[in-house]
Structure 1
């Protein structure tokens, strides 16, 4: 590979007040790559994917400073909305775009905005020497959406953690995700309204405006990181992620790293993150997941599943044993960095 590798990231990638899966992925991978070869990181200020003109100009100047033939790894949030900035440099630089979430897949967009972002992203990705996604499903989705011959996959890693200690009743529920429509916390709250006859507490961890006031049963903890986030996982029995869309779902593998069973929606790369295990308690095959997958936007099905969890000790033991087995198969960020290194080398050699 030609060195250094230039990595263009959104400014604020390390801001603990605004954590995101994409930011965590970028930081974890780049920390690993720094140990392998020279990497030059460049933070791009701006309200991506729709930056101000001054921020577009700044990115253009950054790209102009890179020497001919340089390999540049760009976060898709920065790159995908500004193909006109990439175009003057696409022939002389080796641009590689890492897509965490297709721009038009963000929830809450108007049809016109989604269509515009999809067009911009398609133009940007066709300028790239290579495109990387974070799950097999996401890669197929991006390739089909934009007519790309190939999208590479570099799945997120996870840091192995100390297993949580389950409570006798399994009543401690945890959801770690930004408080946005896409993450579906409103669906979880609607499901829990059907379970007022049972004992449970739910903690929502993530940046954003709380959906309701804190109560004895519901707590909005805000964004957490480091030891505080570890403590939240340690003080949980079941992880719940009712997302409407996910390219992978890194918080799922983080929960599994703590041996927490997971109830999540069957969207995007979530089944890939949750995985399948040979169930020690029987019922193997495709159904032997460490928890359960549900259709999105179905609070009734979620309530039924949570009721079963809270009232059936055998089910709790089965899901916990599966989560413990899945924990043993998780791969670390070193494997993600190895895969990205392999992809970059193939792109440089023209064999990708």
Structure 2
């Protein structure tokens, strides 16, 4: 049976769009055909005509059809989703709880949270991309006993095998990379504040991702923005990096963490949401990076200073990253997990 996968129309590259595309491709390759339909709109706050468009897509499916809907679309649209919960075998894939988006007005966050709860409690299967997200959704929305053991199934992203990054080719480790959209949730302001305190040390930082570059007072000549990059250009960013830095205020998983580790690149990141899960440990127990409290630019600065000034630390983290690299799950593993979550 073919699975219909309803996703938001991609306006710019993002981890969520990458996940949707790769999981559909991997499931199809393994014998579970997936037909993807992209719906345009102001998700997760759609206009009336956009709700009607989503409802029309679901109306077109026969009773008992298996349908997976990206949470960015489904969770803001109970009017379109809930009427089909008893008729279709519906599942909702939650990348990020809607109210967790940074910068929302309190009343907007409350409204989105209520709409998400209505959708997730209407009898659909719920799938999250990390154990942390599954636990949070189950506890926050009262989903225990619905779906998996916690009420939410977990299908973590896969990662592609990749060659070891060449980095700077030296021992100093001063080539930093931040791969993230330029939005408040990704914490570039915190990163730049931390880096401003390290002007006396040798480093340069490449920021790869869509969006308008934010201010970076005092370090303008040492931070470079690439804009949106995919494919070979994105691979080039990772290949030239000594260290991945991620200062996110919220992160359900953090696919860029495993993408860096797949190349043996250590990570310094805010220990928020599913990031510790993505970073993980090597089989010998070593952690291939440093985690700092979210929202703490001073702690991030201290971790980066430690990386830049301690050769022994750099050597240990590189070795741990290379060990962890051998143990990362691929997209076929994620596809099998999703097939199980959907009851295929």
TM-score over 0.5 for the alignment? yes
Q: Deviations over 1:160-181 (max 9, x none)?
A: 1111124321010000011111
Contact 1:28 1:333 in 2 (8 A): yes
Aligned equivalents of 1:179, 1:256: Cα separation in 2: 22
Aligned residue number for residue 350 of structure 1: none
Aligned residue number for residue 260 of structure 1: 265
Give the unaligned 5+ runs of structure 1. Answer: 280-284, 347-352
Aligned equivalents of 1:245, 1:19: Cα separation in 2: 18
The correspondence of residues 77-226 of structure 1 with structure 2, limited to 5 A, is 77-149=72-144, 150-166=151-167, 167-168=169-170, 169-212=172-215, 215-226=220-231
Q: Between Structure 1 and Structure 2, how many residues are aligned?
A: 333
Aligned residue number for residue 337 of structure 2: 339
Contact 1:94 1:128 in 2 (8 A): no
Aligned residue number for residue 148 of structure 2: none
Q: Deviations over 1:85-129 (max 9, x none)?
A: 112211111110000000000000111111110000000111243
Which residue of 19, 25, 28 corresponds with 1:31?
25
Q: Deviations over 1:282-329 (max 9, x none)?
A: xxx5xx210101001111111111111111111111110000000000
Aligned equivalents of 1:344, 1:41: Cα separation in 2: 15
Residue 271 of structure 1 aligns to a residue in which SS? helix
Which residue of 13, 22, 31 corresponds with 1:19?
13
Aligned residue number for residue 6 of structure 1: 4
1:69 aligns with 2:64: yes
RMSD of equivalent CA atoms: 1.3
Aligned equivalents of 2:244, 2:220: Cα separation in 1: 19
Contact 1:97 1:128 in 2 (8 A): no
Aligned equivalents of 2:88, 2:299: Cα separation in 1: 50
Residue 226 of structure 2 aligns to a residue in which SS? strand
TM-score (norm 2): 0.94
Contact 1:138 1:247 in 2 (8 A): yes
Name the stretch that deviates more: 270-279 or 335-344.
Answer: 270-279
Name the stretch that deviates more: 30-39 or 151-160.
Answer: 30-39
Contact 1:10 1:48 in 2 (8 A): yes
Aligned equivalents of 1:157, 1:128: Cα separation in 2: 27
TM-score (norm 1): 0.92
Give the unaligned 5+ runs of structure 2. Answer: 145-150
Aligned residue number for residue 238 of structure 1: 243
Contact 1:60 1:85 in 2 (8 A): yes
Contact 1:241 1:263 in 2 (8 A): yes
Q: Deviations over 1:195-227 (max 9, x none)?
A: 111111001011111013683311011110000
Name the stretch that deviates more: 218-227 or 161-170.
Answer: 161-170
Aligned equivalents of 1:249, 1:224: Cα separation in 2: 17
Residue 216 of structure 1 aligns to a residue in which SS? helix
Aligned residue number for residue 292 of structure 1: 290
Residue 322 of structure 1 aligns to a residue in which SS? helix
Aligned residue number for residue 269 of structure 1: 274
Contact 2:268 2:291 in 1 (8 A): yes
Which residue of 312, 315, 339 corresponds with 1:314?
312
